[in-house]
Structure 1
Amino acid sequence: MPKPREVVLPPTPRSAGRSIDESFTALPLRRLADAALARARALGADHADFRYERVRSASWTLRDARPAGSADTTDAGYAVRVVHGGAWGFAAGVDPTEDGAARVAAQAVAMAELSARVIRAAGTEEWVELADEPAHGERTWVSAYDVNPFDVPDEEKTGLLTAWSERLLAAEGVAHVDASLLAVQENKFYADTAGTVTTQQRVRLHPQLTAVAVADSGEFDTMRTIAPPVGRGWEYLTGTGWDWDAELAELPGLLARKMAAPGVEPGSYDLVVHPSNLWLTIHESVGHATELDRALGYEAAYAGTSFATFDQLGTLRYGSPAMNVTGDRTAEHGLATVGYDDEGVAAQSWDLVRDGVLVGYQLDRRIARLTGLGRSNGCAHADSPAHVPVQRMANVSLAPAPRGPSTEELISGVERGIYVVGDRSWSIDMQRYNFQFTGQRFFRIENGRLAGQVRDVAYQATTTDFWGSLEAVGGPQTYLLAGAFNCGKAQPGQIAAVSHGCPSALFRGVNILNTTQEAGR
């Protein structure tokens, strides 16, 4: 089995000068960690780590330019995880005292001892061991943003959403407008018995507007903004990173033309897929499929398995030679970007698919050691202090061609096809192999030119057929980092935010369904 290419590791993840929230650093984080780790060592743990986490999540929603709801919640506490007797132990608490932290550590060790007895009684010999990771000392990391959205008055947030909603409502044919904004500030403190101590802060935003049209017949449809959720601050809504004026200006016209558009004729078409749609296909068919815990069967009880099994590493023809996909914890503004993961592993970038061939997986420290792949690439994450870290998705992205074509040039090479923009619904099987995706906007391509919208489009394929039909990817000028706040995994369930970058891309001979006709069968 060929060895995956060595990961690319920046010497020290940097935070561009931003500082950690003082209300977080004022907490007795080191004292709690020292007490917990000392107790775990005294009780014989082979490894122990302490994680204090505070996650503030807020949302604002408007319906027809009027407030429809808001929320502002904070989840805070700490957890201790140990390896003892070849088994995991985990416990969480909220008592902010050294004695409380020590008690939680003792509970984690007791759980490991019980788990070890149960495992041995069951006859398994799978001991928990962790891949080596250098001790990083004390490190601080803050994500890339200019203005923390929680420093902006709520009146300013709802005022901007109101103004945008009123602008859309004033347009002909728009009957209703839904507007929402989600904001998260995530603070984590981590310390382990090897000597790594990290303090981190991540900020992310997800703004969204949806315009609704209703015909006299009662028929209705929607058109949503394609601006992606991002690891940015308030500046994202006021001019940096997205042209909101242009997006809002074109939305009513796109909706009106969609209402008048004919349904698609099913059949085989060439597709040019915009990154605002393709990111979700990458997420479902590549991102989840290359989580190695899934490929090994550890997610089978809940979220499925993977067709990209471990025995195919280095040989599986995932797609065409134009397909180059990376896992990346370092991408600027990425939703899954960190300085260090929840096992103290430094952020990295590495290949998953190279020239169309599967060459890597996403790993945490246990899976890396279990499979002999060497070092973890930093994919352990927990979404709250009450949850144990599990293997979670990095920013999984399709690389553009260095001097590749524009989207218009990709379209010009298509005689009969469809141009797909924006994500909507999706469906994929438990092995991440058979899938179907829809979108926000579909345009006919005739003789290399756009020829109006069509409706009710879904593209359907198997993962390897779809990526095998990839003929060309656009250049860097077509690249967009999109993603989602709510990727789900594990039992008990956890969610994680993750981004997927990609250029526009051309696929040949993809099966197209008419969703209205399919629903009527």
Structure 2
Amino acid sequence: MKRREFLQLTGMGIGGALLTVPLIGNAVDMDRLLENPLDVLEKKRLADIGLNSAKANGATYADVRIGRYLNQYIFTREDKLQNAVNTESFGVGIRVIANGTWGFASTLDVSEAGIQKAAEKATAIAKANGKIQTEPVQLAPVQSYGEVSWKTPLEKNAVAVPLKEKVDLLLSANAEAINNGANYVNSALFMINEQKYFASTEGSYIDQDVHRIWPNFNVTAIDPDSGKYKSRQALSSPMGMGFEYMDPRPSSKKEGPGGTMHYYDRYDMIEDAGLAGKQTKEMLKADSIKAGKYDLVLDPNHLGLTIHESIGHATELDRVLGYEANYAGTSFATLDKWKSKDFKYGSDIVNVFADKTQEGSLGAVGYDDEGVKTKRWDLIKDGVLVNYQAIRDQAHIINEDESHGCCYSQSWNDVQFQRMPNVSLEPGKEEYSPDDMIKDVEKGIYIVGRGSYSIDQQRYNFQFGGTLFFEIENGKIKGPVNDVAYQSNTQEFWNSCSKICDKRDYKTFGSFFDGKGQPSQISSVSHGSATTRFDGVNVINTARNI
């Protein structure tokens, strides 16, 4: 199987976005996922062959990425295992600058001859591209780190956990949902391990071992009399952790408004599935929302997606410059707004930062895919747009002296480019809980979890749904409601932000398969926040707006 081929996985039922999941690589036995085909000394030796070959053929800069990308995906439905898939993708990507122009080539032949040939090809491509290049590539300087390594902090490697234990967990969650009123339930567990070795002509040799995990399910209850149905997805978040994420601790969960559970650095899938079974039955009896203006209280599991779409994508510099216009759109947050130094993206309490060092997040790595040490930086400060996301060849455009360290490629076979880091909303500084926030709302809606959404090509006008909705009246949860979505534009919405809970309530949402680029690539990124209030937002009734 070629790595560009995709395995069609059917019957998942976890939502439209997951009906087909890209599995990059060859199907392998599970034991293969635990093997180590190359030690770090051999990686360095092979990388040097690529670097020397590129320089000998006229490259002024080169980097070599030896990548091994491992996936294990498990799918169940009710009391049955539907599929368990293990894949491995292993190869080398070489990027060079020759005649001031980029060139890239890759190979699955991880040998001296294969790497040398790929380096020669990358250099030839750069020279050919140089004939039409109008401006030479400008790389921001980067420190030479020598030989270093980084690994996701793990308590338990998810791939090493016996398959039966993982399947039993999913089936137990399914049974708990059924026992609590669900008619149908699908569940899945996604586990990814990226073993990446980076070397460059600037003297860095970086070995990284990155792990991610995502448990998910979809529960459906049906009213036999009317035939109507309601569904609820898991309130989990994908994480940059091992299987310890599935081993909940008492301090990792707390009951929130409306009887929802707030999960932090651990996740109780069985408990969440049981609660989902009960809540889908309650949703069948709930009233439909009356359209109008409401104060919104947004749980972090919901707000993360809004941050992702209206701030994360909007502050990607390549999108701002129009490089993504043909596929994924542009951005309203143009350079003139940043240069003005006073563009009010949000209210004074809105502080948004980018951070690829946050432990447990999906985007956490020690170094990005062009050998830049990762860091944290501000995007929005006191409501004002102050920066973007930029990599080495973009930094000069916004007068930065160094890259932000947010370059990424989904595999050895794809060229690395600017990808979204973790983008998060700072929690409030005063002690303030979700219950306190509910008490301060006269007419509002508390929204938990992600739902369908739509946003325009400039990341400006949008509409967001959710998973669970609870009407608030005179400071109290009145009960669940249905058919809720809110409409706004990015600037109006973030300027309506009036209160943010404190750091005790801070947690992350994650996007496991975020797409961008042509050819399209996927990446994983987290968005942290605490429960947040937005005043006077337009809410529509989706059942009456079909």
Common fold by TM > 0.5 = yes
Quick check: 1:308–1:316 contact (8 Å CA) kept in 2?
no
One-letter code of the match for 1:76? F
One-letter code of the match for 2:524? A
One-letter code of the match for 2:215? P
TM-score for the superposition, normalised by structure 2 = 0.89
Quick check: 1:269–1:509 contact (8 Å CA) kept in 2?
yes
Aligned residue for 1:31, secondary structure, equals helix
Paired with 1:78 and 1:371, the residues of 2 have a C-alpha distance of 32
The question of 1:367 aligning with 2:394 is answered yes
Match of 2:111 in 1: 97
Q: CA deviation at 1:371?
A: 3.5
Structure 1 residue corresponding to 2:220, chosen from 205, 212, 221 = 212
* 1:261-410 matched pairs, under 5 angstroms: 261-313=286-338, 314-410=341-437
The question of 1:82 aligning with 2:109 is answered no
Q: Which has the higher contact order (CA 8 A, sep 6+)?
A: 1
Aligned residue for 2:465, secondary structure, equals strand
Quick check: 1:403–1:476 contact (8 Å CA) kept in 2?
no
Q: CA deviation at 1:46?
A: 1.5
Of all paired residues, the percent bearing the same amino acid is 40
Paired with 1:404 and 1:305, the residues of 2 have a C-alpha distance of 38
Quick check: 1:31–1:98 contact (8 Å CA) kept in 2?
no
| 1:102-136 residue CA offsets vs partner (Å, 9 max, x unmatched) | 111110010001001133xxxxx322121111111
Of 421-430 and 161-170, deviating more is 161-170
Paired with 1:104 and 1:59, the residues of 2 have a C-alpha distance of 31
Q: CA deviation at 1:30?
A: 1.3
Structure 2 residue corresponding to 1:416, chosen from 418, 440, 443 = 443
Match of 1:134 in 2: 143
Aligned residue for 1:41, secondary structure, equals helix
Match of 1:14 in 2: none
Paired with 2:200 and 2:170, the residues of 1 have a C-alpha distance of 43
Structure 2 residue corresponding to 1:459, chosen from 469, 478, 486 = 486
Match of 1:165 in 2: 174
Match of 1:177 in 2: 185
The question of 1:229 aligning with 2:238 is answered yes
Match of 1:148 in 2: 157
Match of 1:44 in 2: 58
Q: CA deviation at 1:21?
A: 7.2
Gaps of 5+ in 2: 1-33, 250-265
Aligned residue-pair number: 494
Of 83-92 and 309-318, deviating more is 309-318
Quick check: 2:172–2:270 contact (8 Å CA) kept in 1?
no
Paired with 1:418 and 1:21, the residues of 2 have a C-alpha distance of 50
Q: CA deviation at 1:247?
A: 2.3
Aligned residue for 1:81, secondary structure, equals strand
Match of 2:514 in 1: 487
Paired with 1:244 and 1:448, the residues of 2 have a C-alpha distance of 30
Gaps of 5+ in 1: 1-19, 120-124
Structure 1 residue corresponding to 2:281, chosen from 228, 252, 256 = 256
One-letter code of the match for 2:205? V
Paired with 2:282 and 2:397, the residues of 1 have a C-alpha distance of 55
Paired with 1:424 and 1:25, the residues of 2 have a C-alpha distance of 44
| 1:290-319 residue CA offsets vs partner (Å, 9 max, x unmatched) | 101110111111111100011211222100
Q: CA deviation at 1:71?
A: 1.2
Match of 1:500 in 2: 527
One-letter code of the match for 1:107? K
Paired with 1:498 and 1:238, the residues of 2 have a C-alpha distance of 22
Of 241-250 and 153-162, deviating more is 241-250
Aligned residue for 1:300, secondary structure, equals coil
Paired with 1:71 and 1:212, the residues of 2 have a C-alpha distance of 25
Q: CA deviation at 1:56?
A: 0.6
Quick check: 1:85–1:112 contact (8 Å CA) kept in 2?
yes
- C-alpha spacing 1:357/1:404, structure 2 compared with 1 (3 Å): farther
- C-alpha spacing 1:309/1:69, structure 2 compared with 1 (3 Å): same
Paired with 1:21 and 1:49, the residues of 2 have a C-alpha distance of 26
